[in-house]
Structure 1
Amino acid sequence: MKQTIGAFMIRISIHSRSISSNTLKNHSFSALTALRPMMTRSRRASKKIAFVDDEKQNNRLNALHFSDAALREFVSDVKAKFPNTLFVFFADHCGGGQAGNFNNFLIPLAFYGSGIQPHTVDHFASQRDIAPTVLDLVLGDYKKLAPDFSGKSLARDTHFFADYFRNGVFGWIENKRLIEYTPAADATACFDVSSPLPVPVTCTAPEKRYKEHALSFGNISQKLLFQGKTGNFHQYRFH
Structure 2
Amino acid sequence: MFQWLDQLFPPQLIDLLLRATGETAYMVAVATLIGTAIGLPIGVSVAVTGRGELYGAPAWNRIAGAVVNATRSIPFIILAVAIIPFTRLVAGTSIGTSAAIVPLTVAAIPFIARLVEGAIREVDRGLIEAAQAMGAKPIQIVLKVLLPEAMPGIVHGLTLAVVSLIGYSAMVGAVGGGGLGDLGIRYGYQRFMPEMMIAVVVLLIVLVQLVQSVGDRIARAVNKRHR
The alignment's TM-score, normalised by the length of structure 2, stands at: 0.29
**Structure with a larger share of its residues in strand:** 1
The alignment's TM-score, normalised by the length of structure 1, stands at: 0.28
**Structure with a larger share of its residues in helix:** 2
